[in-house]
Every structure is written in C-alpha cells, then in structure tokens.
Chain A
Amino acid sequence: MTNTIQILSIEKTGKESSLQKEHNNKSIKIIDGYFFSKNLDGQKFTKISKLISNDVSQTILTKENVNKVLSSYSNFNWVVEIKFLPGVTDNIATTVKEIIKDNLKSSFKSFELGSTKIILIKGRKEDIIKISKNEANPLIQTIKIYPFKKYLNNFKKDQFKIEKVKLPKKKYSKKEINLDISDYHLSLIGKLGIEENDKSRRGTLGLDLESLKAIRNYFSTIKRKPTDVEIETLAQTWSEHCKHKIFSAKIDDINEGIFKKYIKGATEKIIQLRKDNFCVSLFTDNAGGIEFNKDWIICHKVETHNTPSALDPFGGAITGIVGVNRDCLGFGKGAKPIANTYAYYLADPNKKYQLYRQKNKDPMLPANFIAKGIISGVRVGGNCSGIPTPQGNVYFDDRFAGKPLVFCGTVGIIPKKIRGKLSHKKKANPGDIILMAGGRVGKDGIHGATFSSEELDPNSPVSAVQIGDPITQKKMSDVIIRELRDENLYSSITDNGAGGLSSSIGEMAKESGGFIVNLEKVPLKYNGLYPWEIWVSESQERMTLAVPPANVKKVIKRFNARGVEATIIGKFIKKEKAIVKYNKTKILNLDMEFLHEGYPKLNLKTSFPKIKKEKKKIIKKSSLIDKLHKLLSSPNIVSKEFIATQYDHEVQATSIIKPLQGEGRVFGNATAIKPIFDDEKSIALSQAAYPQYAETNPYDMAGCSIDTAYKNLIVSGASSKKIAILDNFCWCSSDEPDRLYQLKEAAKACYDYAVAYQTPFISGKDSMFNDFKGFDKTGKSVKISIPPTLLISSIGVVDKISHLTKITPDDGDILLVLGNTRNELQDSVYSKIIGYEKSKNPVVNSKDALRTYKNFEKANKLGIINSAIGIDLGGIGIAITKMAIASKKGLTIDLKLKNKISVDQFLFSETQSRILVSLKKNKLANFKKLFKASDYTIIGKCTGSDVIEFKDNKEIMRGKISDFAKSYKQNIKGL
C-alpha cells in the first residue's frame, strides 16, 4: 500500500539543466510527485503509475528501487519538497484526476490528490535554501526542506501527505451588520473588512467612509439592517476596478468627469465626423468592436493584472491573459480569440531592491523572480489556449520595483450576423435561466476587485491570488464559440472576472431588469465556503450565460459532452431587484438602481505638480560607435527575441508579419495576422507607452503614446481610416491632486490627438493606485510609485497583402527620414545612458505628423516605399542600425547636418512622427511628387556591404553589422 507516486525523468530535463547551470552544481534532480488521499494497493499503484508516466523516458520510484535509482544519479543529501497550499489551483492534479477517472472508470471514485515537485541536491544546506527561494512562492506553495535520509524514510513509510482544504464546519446563519456606529468603526469595516464573531476581520472592502454612509442611508430608508452579503456585493460593484470612480468623478471644473469628456467624448466626436460603419460596439461591452470586413467584426480589449502579479507573478500573469481572453468570449454573443498582446513594465531584473511589506518581514519577491514569472505565466496561458501571441514589449525602470505593470490584451473575431441577428447585440430576457459554465468556485481571489483598487500595503489579503487554468477555459470556449453561439442557444453572455458572480450577474441583469440567484446551487471546489465568499469569489474559467428555458437542457448537455460543467444557478427577472438566496434564506435584496448607481460620486481637485527635473548628467566622452553599442544593448532597446520565440505566434496559421523581422531577426514594433483564409485583409497590431516622459509633461507623454501606436500601424501598411486605439491608464497615488493633474493632462491629450488622428477609443481600463508602501532593508519606511503610464494599444485593418511593409532595404536603395528632427533628447534612452545637456521633451505636432502619415500611406499604396521602420526609442541611430541588422545589408549614412543640430542630437533625439524609409532609386521622382522637400531628408543608401558607415562630410563612424547585432542580441542580465 502506498499513497504516493513519484516519477523521474531518466535523462536530464531542461529544468534540471537550467538549475544545474544556475547553481553550478551537477547533482540536482527533480521528481514529479503525486500524493493521494487514499492508499493505493499494488494493482492500482501500477495501473495509475503507468497512466501518468512514460515507460521510455521515465522511471517510477518504488520502495524497492528508490535507493538504487536515486544513487545512480548522485549521492544526494538534501531535499526540497514544494506543494501547493490547500485550495490553490493545481492544474496538474486536475489533469491526473481526469486521466484516472477516464481510464479506470468506476474503480477509484472519490479521492483527492495533489501534485508536488521534489528537488534533490547534493550540496550545502544554503544551496537548497537558495534553490527553494528561486523555485517556490511561499504565498501559494509550502516549501519543506529536509535531509535526504528523511526523504527515503518518508518514502518507505508512506509519510507523504496531501493537504486538503480544511475549513471549519460551519452552518450559515444570516448575518446582519450594524452600521449605526461611529465613523471610526465604520471606516474600519471599509479598510479591514466585516468583523467575524471571533473578532477577526474578513479583509479589506476598499469602501471609504462616504460610501459606507451612503449604504447606511439606503438601509435606513428601507428600514432594515444590511446583510454581510449585501455589503460585500456593494463593495465589489462600487470598487474602483469596476466603477472607475476617478474617471467618472467631477474633477475641477469638468462636471462630467474625464472619461466622458475626453475619452468617450473623443470617440463621439469622431463618430460624428466620420459617418461610416467602422465603430460597431464601444465602451458598453467587455471589449470594443470595429468592422473588419462586410461579414466580420473584430474586437480588442487590454487589461492589467498588476497587484496579483506582484504577489504571484506566474499566477497573476496567466490569470491576466486567460482573463482577457474571456473578455473576447464575452464580447457580443462571443468572439473567438485570435491574438494576444502583452506589455510588461518591470524593475531591473539584475538589481536587488530588498523591499518589505512589513518592517523586516514579508519581503517583496526579487525583481528577476517577478520578471521570469510574468513572462512564463503569459507563455503558458497563451500557448495552452491555442491563441497566438505575436505582439508585445517590455520596458524596465527602477520605479516599477514596488509594482510591476502587466498588460494583457486579446483580439477577437465574430461574424456580424448569427442566424440573421446582429452578433454584437445581446440581451438577457426576463425568465432566462442564469447558467454558470466552466470551473468551480473556491476561495481563490476573494476580494480581488476591491483590493486591486488599494495600494499594496501590509493589510492586502494575500489570499487574493488566482491561478488560471487554460485547458478548462479552452474546453469551455470551444463549446461556446463552435457550437452554442452559432445555434443561437443563449440570449446573453459575459465573463466572470473581478467580483465573480456578483459582478457578472449584476451587470447582465441590467439587460432584463433584475435577478434571483440561489447560491447553494453553485458547484464548489470544496465545502465550507460562506455564501458571501461564493458570491464574490474570483475563481477563474467561468462564463455566465442567459439561456431561454427551452434551450437549457440542450446547452447543459452540450457542455457536459465536452467535459465542461454547467449549472443552473438562478434566473433573470423583469423587476429591477437584485435578489440572492441561500437555502431559501434571502441574503441579498437590493434595488438595481442603488446597486449600480448608489455610490457617492467623487469630487476631485487637481494641482500643478512640482516638476522633478531630470538630473543633469555629464556626457561621458566616447565615440559614436561606443554610444551606439551602449544604446543597442541597453535593456529597453535590446532584442526581446527570447520572449518572441517562447510565445507561439504561429498557431491558427494567421501570422503574416511576425514579431522577429528580416533574416537578422529584429524585434518589430508592429505585427500582423490574417484571420480569415478567404479574405486578404489582415489586422495590424501595435502599442506604445512612455512612462519615462510622464513626470516632465504628461500631456506630451500621452501625445507621444498615441502618435507612436498610430504611426507603427501606418508604417506596417494599415489603412488610416481603419485604425482604433485602446487606453490603459496605470497611475499612482490617484488621491493626490498633483497626480490627478497629470491624469487630467494626459486625458486631455487623449482627446486632442485621437480627434486629430480620427482614431476612436474603443475600449479602455484604468488602475489608479500602483504604489508600494513598505520598508527597505534597514527598516526605513518607503513609498515607491510607478511613473504614470498610459499604454495605447492600436489595432488596424490592412486592406491588401501588398500594403504590408517590411523593414529590410535592398542593395542600392536610397534611405530617407520622413518628418523633421528636433533637439528632443530629454528623458530619452540616450540621456539616461549617455547623459544630456540642455534639451526638450518630445512634443507631437499632429498637423505635421498627419501630413507625413497621409503621404506615406499614399506612397506605400503606389508601391513607392521599399522598406520602412517607425523611429522610436534611441532615435534615427537605432532605427538605422535595426534596418541593417534585419536585412544584413550595409548602409552608408551621409548626415550633411546644418548647424542647428549636433550629430548626437540628430541621431538619438526621440522626436516623434518620423519614419525611416528606403526607396528603389527609380522611385525617387514619384516620391518627390508626393512629399514636400521640407518634409524629408535623404540620409544615405543601402550598399549591401557588411558595415554601417556614418559620414558628416568626413567619416565619423564605421562598424560591422555583425558586431552591432551582437550588442543588440545580448541577454538581459538577470533574466
């Protein structure tokens, strides 16, 4: 009898080699373990072992062979055993359970199991402690370190244990909360949560005093006390995450708030001016939709998952990506996800910041652990879901040490009409059944929505992490997109994200009027959850559907046939009431109006911030060639190829412009997919953010982001009339007037530039408190705020394959810079790495920019442009070098600069709205017909040699392309 199956790979696994390399120790071996809640007899042990292992490449440990097998690898002396904490999503265990159930049928019914990773090492105890710190996250895993002998003993005596969720057996009785208490006690409820009978607190609700008073007033008018579920629900629904209170607040003299005035305002203005069918569904749904062609709509949504990724980088990021996939599934009647995008803003992975959430304890995870975890999380989430992830970028700055920013986006596609009905319209009708499909509900992510609105401080509930399970979601998604949707079997659909059922049902019920939910029907991962926990849990991989009663049986049957659970949990009603019952006790009964609009509106004031001037750094005297190498190898410019190759960007066979471009594999700033086999139209994607410019001038920062995101699509060949943008504001300390000033300025720029460029905002999201409050290693309290970051994602339609551009010039091509270059080196990569004297920050002149873009678009359609690259970080110098690396073709640059600007200023200034292009010689005449002489500069030609040369009357630099490529492809230290 035994209760554990342990398997090891005969040959060294990739993980083992990387551990061995990292720790310079060849005696490291990893065992995959499975602990069972039931003892397995000999026959079952053999059967199950065989089911979950590979005869050829793996060995199963038994009491008889364990000594011999392990001693054949090394003379191990330490062991670290890593297991998930009870209740944390264990995807491998789920699969193993499924395999056993599938193949052994009825012979092994109710049992629990947990997966575990056991690392064996020969070395010092310090080494194994170090490994355990790198390999496990104490927030979600238990880590046990013990001598190898004890491990053998445990093995032989079956002393491995699976830890199940142990929740006290509790009978729920309706809990009423007294709000007629002092302001101080009232605010404690908001900050620390509802008090339990044992005086413990449930965790932050993120409700301020004003909101709690509004709740008190409501209940005093309806003459009863609120239940705990009602308060929890209001906290979720009114959270900054769900209601975007700051964006909708009156701010200075803007009564309607900055969202309505600047973001939605811009889009409304554009729609009014355009008079076409490009904008299909904006702001109201889970994602924003635009027209792709006469039969299809595409939608796009970008989310952030910052706080969870700070606590559990892998779990936070995987949940981020599969979460935003569900936003597409929940767009209209359900769009099929066809591309993922990512953008990470991280601290330097090579630095040790040593930050603590509490004095001398509760350390922040190391920056490289966070970076690696985030990159892996999106890899597993994207790859396992079969959605290509072509488009992304990474940016490093010390100010992300307290909170990384993780942006995850998804593009979806849906036919315009399904069975004759417009697919982007949906409406839950009174009488429709509320069906929950997908995963089960556990304690994961409880208080996610309320806590992501709060700063990361010692009271942040660390239980607020979820781990995505892409396979469960993929199974569910296949049923919805391929079967149910096209038979029109449901009337509305939305995803369960922040706030769980309370949010999804609450939102959807606006369509019908109200809802009644029976919480005891909700399938649970384990018993013992309180009703309020079921109601607000953020367990992943769930969609909520409104299904007409006549179709319910069919829908459930279809889900079940594909191995997906689906459960009736209530119904939509006409009456505008939100009603939740638990075993027939009514535990929530609110007016829909109060639920959604009862929160007190904020009234915000801004003030002009003190500008923190960039410290003047003395320019180190070095040659131009040195400067180029330094810039190329700097983390924000260096190639991100290592991410592109681990993210499957080819799945679905749609990749048409890939993330790595040219024979020399340069990491591009725009990519394209062709989603429909029989239409040559494709979708171009890009994104931009300039947090480094924010403190100097937030208005210009936003202008630069929009300009770059737009420019990259124009350069890739998208039609200027078919570009839409998305805004993701990640701000800090949004309760401080000077931060709000920056926010208002950035939002104002959003209006101005979006209207100028005629690019509607179709969707957006904000995350307003990305601050870390804690302590440094000496115990001194510190606050680290991210620089205000506005990510603009752009999505555009490319009408013809022939419009798609490349970044590689050919021999004999003439090189030109479109747009003028100014001395705008402030906050540039150059100024950070080399130093700067007197300069200005980049300012976008939309009139000049549009002239360049319109002419470029014409020239490209006429076949005048041979290659093109948008000029961004590192300026013309870096753009030139990238062209040469990508094409492996030499370039000769003759600057012929006038006195106004120095060589360094010309080459490294980050002036916006410029494009580096190459033309075949015989196209120059046609080119000149389109462009005014003052709008471009001829700077050189493509020689086809193996060097890049810069001349300014005389030769000033000459370097081999292969050397530049080496600098550009350096590994990022710490990753």
Chain B
Amino acid sequence: MITIRQSRNENILVFAVEGVLDIFTVDDFDAALTEVTGVQKLVIDLSAVTFLDSTGIGAILRAIYQGQDHGFTVELSGMNEEIKELFDTVGILRVLEALQKGER
C-alpha cells in the first residue's frame, strides 16, 4: 500500500512516497525516517500519494521536527490540490515556513 523510494544526491535525500499514508502504512514511513542521517535536506515527494489523513500529517510533522533536531530541512513537493488544501487547513505549511525563517 505504500512504497518509499529513496534517492540521494550529495546532501539531498528524496523520499518519493507512493500510495496511501494512513495508520496502516505510517510505520513504514516512520521506519524510513529513523534511518535518515547525514543529510542537509529531505525532500518528501508526495506526487504519487493518493490519500493521506491526519495520521499521515502526524508522520510528516515528525519528519519536520526530526529535521529540527538533526539539522536538516524538510521540503514537501508534488502535493495534489486536495492534499495541499488539507495541509493549509491544518497549518503544516505555516509550521514549515516559520521553521525556515528560523523562528519557532
């Protein structure tokens, strides 16, 4: 139900997530996340994500906070209209923006 293809280019790591990010698949995402070390930037490509709920949002937040602790930034890309709107509703984009500006 979920595949996370990882590709690394120097200091940038890309997670290309495919499928659904919910309570059933979130453990796989978290597992992949714990192995992230020694990068400056993590790009989470959501273009192949068909569905995502607040459990999935929780996982993405964890990625963002982990980046805070381990010194990498997180970039979200490829969201479809619905997911983008959802992110906006729950304020995840605002959190990212604030972190990028260096305030918290």
On whether the two chains bind one another, the answer is: no
